[in-house]
Structure 1
């Protein structure tokens, strides 16, 4: 598996991953009615941000986007988001994408990385982020409408770089 910069030619494989995750409405706070065009505009970061894919044998297994969490006085803190294809889960794709994002942020002089909306019931992601040094610094109660569990919290997770 290798992680590389996203190219427009990748969208044909990235869009089904994005669509699958947002339509499930279990782990990501994106609107499940978004078209491919809207999702593309939200997912693909413009410089100085970055979008990548994890691929193996020409197949995209996952994707990540990263950049400054906020502009201006908040621009020293990075943020990132990760999506892994259902068939590739449990194979270390998410970990590789997150480690790549951390290295990217470190190399660009960011002081920390913050995730603004980790669904608290997304146990695999929360467990991974904790293993990579993130802590939950707060949880917004009932901020995410889970399709089967009802309203659950969104964690804000943070780690210094």
Structure 2
């Protein structure tokens, strides 16, 4: 398979409409909300610590995902939002790489990252990515990033 490229975006790519149509056909409306929120200015992933990343295979948009400040939590908590990979490319670790890219950025700005999913596939996917289930009213999964950040082991300085 060719190399997938992840790129922070500041404007919604025109190809997002094609991806949104595919997501809607699967019953997912969150890319429709992404576009609506972007157009109204309700969420453009431009607050401190936030970002929106597009996944490209060659020049074709194949996925997207965002990190925002969690509006349902105290300071220091980020929220994964609008994570989607084209159905035909799932199972190739693209979604996992997208989430890991978002978490690497999150570790520089947040101590905790939460998300909400309503499918068993999403639940399994996020558990494989290292999230834990939570019973919070506004989140289904959470990850404590800690002082060392995502993907790093904490060093015990008391030894």
Q: Same fold (TM over 0.5)?
A: yes
1:29-56 Cα offsets, whole Å, 9 max, x none, are: 5496x7x952643674223321111112
Structure with higher strand content? 1
**Which 5+ residue runs of structure 1 have no aligned equivalent?**
141-153
TM-score (norm 1): 0.71
Q: Does 1:129 align with 2:113?
A: no
**Which 5+ residue runs of structure 2 have no aligned equivalent?**
146-159
Query: CA, structure 1 residues 39+17, in 2 after alignment: closer, same or farther (shift >3 Å)?
Result: farther
TM-score (norm 2): 0.72
Q: Which residue number in structure 1 is paired with residue 14 of structure 2?
A: 12
CA distance in structure 1 between the aligned counterparts of 2:93 and 2:104, rounded to whole angstroms: 16
Give secondary structure in 2 for the equivalent of 1:11.
Answer: coil
Query: Residues 6-155 of structure 1: matches in 2 within 5 Å?
Result: 6-8=9-11, 11-25=13-27, 28=28, 30=30, 38=36, 40-41=38-39, 44-48=44-48, 49-70=50-71, 74-81=74-81, 82-108=83-109, 110-115=110-115, 117-121=116-120, 123=121, 125-138=122-135
Give secondary structure in 2 for the equivalent of 1:12.
Answer: coil
8 Å contact kept, 1:120–1:155? no
Give secondary structure in 2 for the equivalent of 1:114.
Answer: strand
Query: CA, structure 1 residues 59+7, in 2 after alignment: closer, same or farther (shift >3 Å)?
Result: farther
RMSD value, Cα: 2.8
CA distance in structure 2 between the aligned counterparts of 1:111 and 1:126, rounded to whole angstroms: 21
